[in-house]
């Protein structure tokens, strides 16, 4: 699970609260939406980390952006702002998603590629991951990172397989350095 201890604690608290109210699935959808919004907006990431922007302004902006989310998500935003931890929102969403998936027995696979996967290739990768893990309950997330040049990096839980061109070039460079 990614994230720091504090983010994990906040995620556990909101997961427990949501599960007690039978709203875990709703909050899960909220957390995915919040995470996608944060990842997709550089301005939002900058605003969350900015010490210049007042906490109340951050609260108002976030409640406006995520106005259609559940009361649990609004409560999380209010608590994080109140505790001066709003910069952790992305980490909390990521931790919540991981905890939720773990509780539901869902394996999360992250495949990093230089370009976005086509839907056909995504289906093939998902089937291969299901075969490897022996689990039929797998979600696949595609991260795009042009720095890997080509190939892919597959992460499932604590396991990672790096078949990227950048990794291969790094290995060749190390081999050349050893022989000199």
What residue ranges do the domains of the chain occupy?
A: 5-102, 106-179
CATH of segment(s) 5-102? 1.10.520.20
Give 48-73 pLDDT, tens digit per residue.
999 999 999 999 999 999 999 999 99
What tokens were used for 161?
A: 């397989």
pTM over 0.75: yes
Phi-psi region of 164 (alpha: psi -120 to 50; beta: other; left: phi over 0): beta
Question: Considering only CA atoms, which of 36, 136, 163 is closest in space to residue 90?
Answer: 36
Section 1-27 average pLDDT:
91
Look at residue 1 in the predicted model and tell me its pLDDT: 47
Give 33-43 pLDDT, tens digit per residue.
999 999 999 99
Span of 18-22, 28-32, 160-164, 176-180 with lowest mean pLDDT: 176-180
What b/e readout covers 33-52, taking b as 16+ CB neighbours within 10 angstroms?
ebbeebeeeeebeebbeeee
24-40 vs 89-104: helix crossing angle, rounded to 10 = 140
Is domain 106-179 given the CATH code 3.40.30 in the classification? yes
């Amino acid at each position: 699970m990614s994230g720091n201890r504090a983010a994990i604690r906040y995620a556990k608290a909101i997961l427990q609260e949501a599960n007690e109210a039978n709203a875990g699935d709703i909050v899960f959808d909220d957390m995915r939406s919040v995470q996608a919004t944060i990842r997709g907006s550089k301005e939002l990431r900058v605003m969350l980390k900015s010490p210049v922007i007042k906490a109340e302004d951050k609260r108002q902006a976030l409640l406006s952006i995520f106005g259609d989310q559940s009361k649990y998500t609004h409560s999380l935003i209010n608590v994080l702002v109140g505790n001066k931890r709003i910069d952790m929102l992305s980490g909390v969403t990521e931790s919540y998603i991981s905890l939720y998936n773990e509780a539901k027995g869902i394996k999360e696979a992250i495949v990093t590629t230089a370009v976005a996967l086509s839907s056909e290739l995504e289906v093939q990768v998902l089937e291969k991951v299901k075969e490897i893990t022996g689990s039929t309950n797998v979600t696949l997330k595609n991260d795009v990172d042009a720095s890997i040049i080509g190939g892919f990096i597959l992460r499932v839980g604590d396991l990672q397989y790096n078949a990227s061109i950048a990794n291969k070039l790094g290995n060749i460079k190390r081999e050349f350095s050893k022989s000199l």
